[in-house]
Amino acid sequence: MQGDPSRAEIVFLSSMQRQHERFGLRIIVVDAAELTGAGTPSHDDLVNYTYDWNLDSAIAVLGDDGTVARRFGVEHAPTTFLVGSDGVVRKRWDGFTPAAQLDFAIRVLEGRSPTD
């Protein structure tokens, strides 16, 4: 898939899902192939992606025909959003997201101390 995030980012996104799922965290990966001009991925491409990256079934992988990217002003991959349960974007990272920054932002959104 075009625009794949780095292996490191996928690894820590999976880790964040496991650590924070009891607080309601949901990780959604939106494929950026259309954004890079490679076209919209097929269902089989997305299924293979989850296996290739060894993603937990709790992490949703969605194709995008460019609609989601345009709606959120995404110009390159990866772009990471932290969205509250109310649907409001609380934080955005363009490019690689450092694990510590993401973890801290998630804990703040959950109303927990950074050291809980």
Taking the complete model, does pTM exceed 0.95, yes or no? no
Averages of pLDDT over runs of 10 residues in the chain (116 residues) are 60 86 84 73 79 77 81 82 86 86 89 78
Helix (H, G, I), strand (E, B) or coil at 14: helix
Question: In the prediction, which pLDDT does 10 show?
Answer: 81
Nearest Cα residue to 58 out of 98, 35, 29, 100: 29
Helix (H, G, I), strand (E, B) or coil at 93: strand
Question: In the prediction, which pLDDT does 5 show?
Answer: 53
Could you tell me the two tokens for 110? 């959950």
